[in-house]
Amino acid sequence: MGAYQLQVQIDADSGFCFGVVYAIDMAEEILEQDGYLYCLGDIVHNDEEVERLKAKGLRIIDHSQLAGLHNEKVLIRAHGEAPETYRMALENNIMLIDASCPVVLKLQNRIKTSHDDNEKIVIFGKHGHAEVIGLQGQTNGEALVFQDIAELDNVELPQKFTLYSQTTKSTDKFYGIKSELLNRGYEVKANDTICRQVSNRDKDLPEFAARFDKIVFVSGKKSSNGKVLFEVCRKHNPNTYFVSAVDELSPDMFAPGDKVGISGATSTPMWLMEQVKAELERY
């Protein structure tokens, strides 16, 4: 124990969601067997975890590199992929190790069915996000994507459309958007496709955050889910710090005897939160 004697506790509900656990387990199994494995895009939005897996032989590639690859194994991460990726893999004799999250796959199927039924589709999601690109791919790129309701102010929307959401968005925001669009006179068929493992954290986190003097929120800067959950923490505990790695911590963030809670995104590995805890206990 350091001189500060901080009381530190990790949020038991934080850490990888099952989709990410599944993808990483799959990757590690093949890496052990083959010594290397290609992965399309970052396996998880956390640089520390990506580095750990790269050291074991994971090779991150993008779609243009996939086009030049033949007769190899390639992992599809939890975010899922557009139909185009599967077509390319067939042409290049690539064996796809599909670790798409089942929640994402179910959403892709629902969007594809909607599109096949000629429904106009609007998706609440982050522009350019891997999951969203996969979702838009189910509609031949015809779906309209927006990440903020203000984006729809100057857009001519069809009178009647079907609304979907990226799986990691906030449920409150989604329902707020739905009612705002109904108020504007549109006929909206809304499909709540938000992952409950993620959205339930929105509900449990406020209670966790309020129990401590300070919160250290551990997440990669690229994680959408991390940004959402960090804001939830900060709203219920203004003394919340966002850190991506142990070296971003310093003793002057804390006072002796502080009760400190550690939480993280669904893409934050538990080993990283354990490292943060060990560092804080040295203060």
pLDDT tens for the chain, residues 1 to 283: 677 899 999 999 999 999 999 999 999 999 999 999 999 999 998 999 999 999 999 999 999 999 999 999 999 999 999 999 999 999 999 999 999 999 999 999 999 999 999 999 999 999 999 999 999 999 999 999 999 999 999 899 999 999 999 998 888 899 999 999 999 999 999 999 999 888 888 888 999 999 999 999 999 998 888 988 999 999 999 999 999 999 999 999 999 999 999 999 999 999 999 999 999 999 9
Q: Confirm whether 131 is a catalytic residue.
A: yes
Q: Does residue 2 lie in a domain region?
A: no
For residue 220, the domain's CATH number is 3.40.1010.20
67 assigned to some structural domain? yes
Q: How many CB atoms lie within 10 A of CB 252?
A: 7
- Let me know if residue 114 belongs to a domain: yes
- Asked if 191 and 162 count as a contact pair (C-beta separation under 8 A), the reply is yes
Among residues 263, 269, 132, 266, the alpha carbon closest in space to that of 193 is found at 132
> Count of alpha carbons within 13 Å of 45, Cβ hemisphere only?
21
| Residue 210: predicted pLDDT | 96
The alpha carbon of 204 is separated from its chain's Cα centroid by a whole number of angstroms, namely 18
Rounded to whole angstroms, how far apart are CA atoms 28 and 34? 10
Strands (E), 15-132: 37-40, 58-61, 73-76, 95-98, 121-124
Phi-psi region of 15 (alpha: psi -120 to 50; beta: other; left: phi over 0): left
What pLDDT is recorded for position 1? 60
The domain that holds 36 is classified in CATH as 3.40.50.11270
Q: Is residue 1 part of a domain?
A: no
Query: Of 194, 229, 264, which one is at a domain's C-terminal end?
Result: 194
Claim to verify: residue 145 and residue 215 sit in the same structural domain: no
Pick the catalytic residue from 72, 131, 151, 274. 131
For residues 169 and 149, is the Cβ–Cβ distance under 8 A?
no
145 lies in some domain: yes
208 and 177 in one domain? Answer: no
Provide the CB-side half-sphere exposure for 201 (13 A, CA).
Answer: 27
Same domain, 201 and 229: yes
pTM equals 0.89
- Count of the separate structural domains present in the chain: 3
Choose one of 179, 194, 209: the last residue of a domain.
194
Strands 7-10 and 160-165, how do they pair?
unpaired
Q: If you write DSSP's letter for every residue of 187-233 in order, what string do you get?
A: EEEE-----HHHHHHHHHHHHHHHTSSEEEEE--TT-HHHHHHHHHH
Clarify whether residues 108 and 183 are in a common domain.
yes
d(C-alpha 74, C-alpha 187), whole Å: 42
Residues 171 and 237 in one domain: no
Q: State both tokens at 129.
A: 């996000």
In a domain, 215, yes or no: yes
What range defines the domain where residue 272 resides? Answer: 7-15+197-282
User: Which of the listed residues 57, 74, 100 is the one where a domain comes to its end?
Assistant: 100
Considering the domain boundaries, does residue 253 fall inside one?
yes
Q: Is residue 48 located within the same domain as residue 64?
A: yes
